[in-house]
Structure 1
Amino acid sequence: MDLDVLVIGGVGIDTIVHVPTLPLPDRETIHVAPVESYVGHTGHGVVLGCHRLGLQPALADVIGDDAEGRRICSAYDELGLPLAIALHPSGTRRSVNLVSPDGSRLALYDGRHPTGMWVDPVLWRDWTGRARHVHVSIMDFARRALPDVLAAGCTVSTDLHDWDGENEYHRDFAQSADVVFVSTSALRDKAVDWIFASGRAQVVVAMAGADGSYLHVRGEDPIHLPAVDLPGRPVVDTNGAGDAYVAAFLTTWLDGRSYYEAATAGTIAGAWACGSPGTHTDLITAEQLMLLNR
């Protein structure tokens, strides 16, 4: 094996707009700070976070033959990270993220790709047998990779984001993963119980933003890990915090440490990501995490 983590799906371009407040005031024109754009989205955040923490990750995804897609390819060339792509005429995913002064955000997501889009499985099959772990983003095309990933015998994770516990779209991903990440923002009662009862998950991490996260290990009582404040690094932008958490959790867990230690590392990495503007502009390194996680 020559890959630590293969991420399937989830790269795009984020446009960040800093706004005076959320929700926006009812005005025709609102003056904002300079608008910036970044290579971002959830899969890329996990890849870049793992890379910064010393792992060898790779990304397999569908993008467009457009300026945004070429920007992504160029970024991966500069990073020296493996990238397998398939091109689709619908183009590259995009998101316009409105960020308020306290760092909270509203994402206007343009997923572009049509439901049921067919992708040649060669996109991921060449790499699934070479990876210790596969993280599958909840792109519709990526659900078709799940049987191949499970057949390869590696461990699997996914991030269900703002799943409510009932939407059928997410269930294939939830049932196939050993490690499930999910936001508490819309999560209903008993959703975590359903994941354990219906799938193979050994751990579910429910991320709750400023309230920290909740670690659910199969057969054990849940543990609440409060959010941390990092001295000299106030919250300015929450874009990418969840992806940073996932990357640090996976890196720590794949190093043979406990779920609790992994969640603690994720908590610190998520807080660190909130201290820089933009998406994935300053993710924590292994050295920085070690110094803060004593």
Structure 2
Amino acid sequence: MDVFVIGGVGVDTIVRVPELPLPDRETIPVAPIESYVGHTGHGVALGCHRLGLDAAIADVIGDDDEGDRIRWTYQRLGIPFTSVVTPCGTRRSVNLVSPDGRRVSLYDPRRPQYDGFKVHPDLWRPDLTRTRHVHVSIMDFARQALPDLAMADCSMSTDLHDWDGVDDYHRDFATAADVVFVSAQALPDDAIGWIFTHGRAQAVVAMAGADGSYLHVATEKPVHIPPVEIPDRPVVDTNGAGDAYVAAFLATWLDGRSWREAAEAGSIAGAWACGSHGTHTDLITAEQLMTLILKELSTD
């Protein structure tokens, strides 16, 4: 396969609120509340699948309604899904989304119940021998796969999300990956240098939302990748935009294109994801991505 994702699937409940922060009122009328299979690993696996890659995912989920929904969803999508059951239950989040697309995520990672949960390596080992690339979500159990990945004949990426450059929880993932994605929001100036110095990263991408992203390649000067506006897809919901970016970046890079081309493709895919309500409800296809890339090139 092209991309194997370890960890990071759950169920999102999306609440469309009139404003953020919320007003100080006891009752706030909202639009219909919807729930979706989502979270970061799902977004990357589905995004790669939509872009024509052969993708699969493995995770730890609960023996509950959310876990059943996840299994059914992957069966319907035709994405191979391997799982083990934990009594901790399936991860969930409640995401508050404002009219301009901003969000606040109330994330239930099933911790501390998940901390120290041991998983048999058969969850990931069979797929490591037949994939080109592995994307590891920063689930605590996924840390157990890192020694196997260090010896595997494939590349690896991870998304550190809102790492502050200090929290030890993220460091194992940061140093194990060839490509590291991270939010620029809380990142100190010296964190990217630390990743290059202490890990094996070839590239680090700091995603900055409406300010675009910053591509750092070892031994090269950082490059700012400007945000993309898609005229007929205004921003309505930023849920899953970062995962869409990661998927398009990986698809482009695995296709043999340059780091910069990969980042520019990621920027387009992230902007596309912001144009639909909910989580991962309308991720970009390979044809749509190529059309927008050609349009961007024609305006340069």
TM-score bracket, shorter-length normalisation: over 0.9
**Deviation sequence 1:143-193 (CA, Å, 0-9, x none):** 110111121121000000000011100000000000000001110110000
After TM superposition, give the deviation of residue 116 of structure 1 in Å.
Answer: 1.1
Equivalent residue letter for 2:156? V
Equivalent residue letter for 1:81? I
1:46 has 2:44 as partner: yes
Q: How does 1:102-251 map to 2 (within 5 A)?
A: 102-112=100-110, 113-251=113-251
Equivalent residue letter for 1:250? L
Aligned to 1:88: 86
Equivalent residue letter for 1:226? P
Alignment RMSD:
0.5
- Paired residue secondary structure (2:132): strand
- Paired residue secondary structure (1:95): strand
After TM superposition, give the deviation of residue 114 of structure 1 in Å.
Answer: 2.0
Equivalent residue letter for 2:269? A
Equivalent residue letter for 2:219? G
**Distance in structure 1 (CA, Å) of the matches to 2:107 and 2:206:** 22
- Paired residue secondary structure (2:8): coil
**Deviation sequence 1:8-29 (CA, Å, 0-9, x none):** 0000000000001111111100
Equivalent residue letter for 2:134? V
**Distance in structure 1 (CA, Å) of the matches to 2:57 and 2:114:** 21
**Distance in structure 2 (CA, Å) of the matches to 1:44 and 1:283:** 12
Gaps of 5+ in 1: none
**Distance in structure 1 (CA, Å) of the matches to 2:275 and 2:148:** 38
Q: How does 1:247-266 map to 2 (within 5 A)?
A: 247-266=247-266
Equivalent residue letter for 1:170? H
Equivalent residue letter for 1:69? G
**Distance in structure 2 (CA, Å) of the matches to 1:133 and 1:144:** 17
> Which of the residues 62, 65, 68 maps onto 2:63?
65
Equivalent residue letter for 2:287? E
Equivalent residue letter for 2:43? G
Q: Kindly, what percent of the aligned residue pairs are identical?
A: 72
Gaps of 5+ in 2: 295-300
**Deviation sequence 1:117-138 (CA, Å, 0-9, x none):** 1111110011111110000000
Aligned to 1:98: 96
Q: How many residues align?
A: 292
Q: How does 1:257-276 map to 2 (within 5 A)?
A: 257-276=257-276
Q: Could you state the TM-score of these two structures normalised by the residue count of structure 2?
A: 0.97
- Paired residue secondary structure (1:293): helix
Equivalent residue letter for 1:18? R
